[in-house]
Amino acid sequence: MQDRDKLESELLELRTVVDTFDGSLRRLAMGDVQQQIQHPLPRGYDGLRKDFNRGLASVGATLDTIIARSRGVRLEADELHQSLKRKTEEEVCRQTALAGKVAETSSAADTARRQSAHVEHIQSILYNARVDMRRPKETAAQSAEQSERTCQSLAQLKSLTDEVRAMLREASLLALNGGINAAHTGVEGEEALGAAKNLHALTRKVSSTIEALAEASESAVKHANAAATASGQTVREFDALDLYTEALDTQLSSLGREARQHAVATEDLRAGLAELARGNRPLDDAQPSPEMQLSNIDRAIAEIERQASRYMPVRVVTPPVDPAPGSSPRSHLRLVKS
């Protein structure tokens, strides 16, 4: 009898332990990891209850940590997504501005090339003008030389007219003296007197002609001197103009070199900006963007949070049990999620 009572007592204890763990496992199956077995079990099984409670508490704490960390990660992912969105918008603005700068530098490079070609064209025109100026300059120099020779010839002619005029004056005096002497000789000197008179009249006419010729030669000398001066001034003007065109050609050559260098530098700048614009583009269009990768991470974290949120506190409602004879002492549980 004692053994039977002992076996029945042990059976009741086991049945109590089984019912307790059955209810807890049912609640755990419904997702309640915050539960604790509060009622003490028989002495031999109370350690099992404590281990079970510690295990549930550890699992619950781990799930709470997972949920909290998941929410924190989702918040950080959202902030990172917003930051990436702002950076993407800024990058789009920079790309647009960079494309505009590339277009501007391309236009500047074209302008520089046109200016370089324009300077070269002006240089060609100036070179042709300098070549064409040589002939008028040489002609002016020859004209000045001929004017100087004319002045010398006219000066010699004036000197000769002066000498002839002096000689005519002496011839006129001789004719006058011869006439006077012939008049004193009487009839015999009438023929000599007539010849002297004729010679004196002729010398006076020739003197008048020589006088007019001297005046004309003097006027011609003045005009020739003026022409020589003007020709010399023209030659000097051509020399000055040649110096100016030479200086202008030097400046245009320097400007042409600078224009070509500017065109090359602008073209290099345009190529560098274009390369920079191409370098900022994604290398592989098939590769997902960082925003898409963040969205995938956010969805994965949301799924982890959803799965972890299944394990939430459960409220247990235990209906009263009628002590009917022959009924089992097992409790009937109705689990309700809170």
Cα 137 to Cα 231: distance, rounded to the nearest angstrom? 10
What is the signed CA dihedral for 183, 189, 195, 200, rounded to 10 degrees? -20
CA-to-CA dists, residue 317 to 24, 292, 320, 332, 338, angstroms: 13, 46, 10, 9, 11
* Digit-coded pLDDT (tens) for 286-336: 666 777 777 778 778 777 777 776 665 545 455 544 444 444 444 444 444
Neighbours of 66 (CB within 10 A): 16
DSSP secondary structure string for all residues of 286-319: TSPPHHHHHHHHHHHHHHHHHHHHTS--EEEE--
* Digit-coded pLDDT (tens) for 211-267: 787 788 778 878 878 888 888 888 888 888 888 888 888 888 888 888 888 888 888
Q: Structural domains in the chain? A: 103-301 (1.10.287.950)
Cα 33 to Cα 311: distance, rounded to the nearest angstrom? 6
* Digit-coded pLDDT (tens) for 158-190: 788 777 777 777 777 777 777 777 666 766 667
Specify the pLDDT at position 45: 83
Please classify residue 6 by burial: count the beta carbons closer than 10 Å to its beta carbon, then call 0-12 exposed, 13-18 middle and 19+ buried: exposed
Q: What is the pTM of this model?
A: 0.44
Q: Are 321 and 331 in contact (CB under 8 A)?
A: yes
